[in-house]
Amino acid sequence: MTEAEVLEKYREAGRILAEVRTDAIKTIKVGKKLLDAAESIETLIQQKGGAVAFPTNISVNEEAAHATPSKADASTFGTDLVKLDIGVHIDGYIADTAVTIDLGNNKELVDASNSALERAIEVVRAGVDLAAISEVIEDTITDYGYLPVANLTGHGLERYTQHAPPAIHNRRTQSGAKLKEGQVVAIEPFSSAGNGRVYETGKAEIFSLIKAKPVRSPEARAILKDIDAYKTLPFAKRWLQGRVDLGLKQLETAGIIRAYPVLKDRGFVSQAEDTLIVTNDGSEVITRI
């Protein structure tokens, strides 16, 4: 496939994702079920001809990322600060976007991440040092009186790999690495009213394959068969058939899959994310219509 054909697949993934995001925002309302929101988003992606790149992440309040409802989750939205992070792929070429929906009273915190993303996009072009992007993100967020989350970063995107190099830090860094024309990257500032550091907590609902290996346990084998289609992309426990706790544990212990526990800060967190193609004079934001 030529580079132009690959970029067309990214654009198609981005266009579908932008449409889904617009609809998805309307489903996030006080009293609505998180599980219904997650499932309707994943259905809509497929109806529009895309593949779900990773489980719908719905992280509320102090949660920053990696939360998705379980099959049994009956919880509903309250006056929460909701981060919706969604992805579409076409033949493995991924578009990744996130938006914060404020059902409470957190306007400044939401604005901080949105402004940081806008200002970061303004400095993106081929040849720019990643440190310049990190600096503008940190400065924008701290101007609002919040902290950038230090241990969550933007990233490159590669076929069937959601988090590829380079890491695009949300806090000042010495980089040296420069963006290249045609590179596809996701920029995702997180603003925190807490410590600006997330920690792992709770039971994971999201997993991904590291590398398939032969296993004897029938439970583990059944899961490996079930997740074959996702390749190395993240999948949700609720997407699997039957009782899977034992098999997941065995696969994790054998180093075949990894778990993504929920990441939380000690205060509320907002996020904004878009995926872009780097060009010589700027960028093409593919997750906006």
Residue 61 or residue 275: which is nearer to Mn ion going by CB? 275
Characterize 103-120 residue by residue with b for buried, 16 or more Cβ atoms within 10 angstroms of its Cβ, and e for exposed.
beebeebbbbbbbbbebb
Based on the residue annotation, tell me whether 169 is a catalytic residue of this protein: no
Based on the residue annotation, tell me whether 245 is a catalytic residue of this protein: no
- Please provide residue 127's backbone torsions phi and psi, each rounded to the nearest 5 degrees: 95, -15
Residue 12 or residue 96: which is nearer to Mn ion going by CB? 96
Based on the residue annotation, tell me whether 89 is a catalytic residue of this protein: no
String of contacts with Mn ion for each residue 83-122, x by CB under 5 A = --x----------x-x------------------------
**Interatomic CA distance for residues 34 and 55, integer angstroms:** 13
Smallest gap from Cβ 222 to Mn ion, in A, equals: 29
**Interatomic CA distance for residues 251 and 161, integer angstroms:** 20
By CB under 5 A, tell whether 186 contacts Mn ion: yes
Smallest gap from Cβ 49 to Mn ion, in A, equals: 20
String of contacts with Mn ion for each residue 33-52, x by CB under 5 A = --------------------
Rounded to whole angstroms, what are the CA distances from 288 to 63, 65, 95, 147?
25, 21, 11, 26
Question: Would you say 177 and 128 are in contact if contact means Cβ atoms under 8 Å apart?
Answer: no
Based on the residue annotation, tell me whether 219 is a catalytic residue of this protein: no
HSE-CB at 19 with a 13 A cutoff on CA atoms is 14
Give the position of tokens 């919706």. Answer: 84
Local structure of residue 80 (DSSP, 8 states): -
Return the H-helix or E-strand segment holding 81: strand 81-90
By CB under 5 A, tell whether 274 contacts Mn ion: no
Residue 135 or residue 273: which is nearer to Mn ion going by CB? 273
Catalytic residue among 42, 63, 80, 85: 85
Rg over CA atoms, the chain = 18
**Interatomic CA distance for residues 24 and 211, integer angstroms:** 33
Catalytic residue among 42, 80, 96, 135: 96
Residue 55 or residue 196: which is nearer to Mn ion going by CB? 55
Residue 28 or residue 186: which is nearer to Mn ion going by CB? 186
Catalytic residue among 63, 80, 111, 188: 188
- Binding range to Mn ion, per CB under 5 A, among 119-127, 186-194, 208-216, 221-229: 186-194
Q: Give catalytic residues, as residue numbers.
A: 85, 96, 155, 163, 188, 273
User: Residue numbers of the site for Mn ion (CB under 5 A)?
Assistant: 85, 96, 98, 186, 273
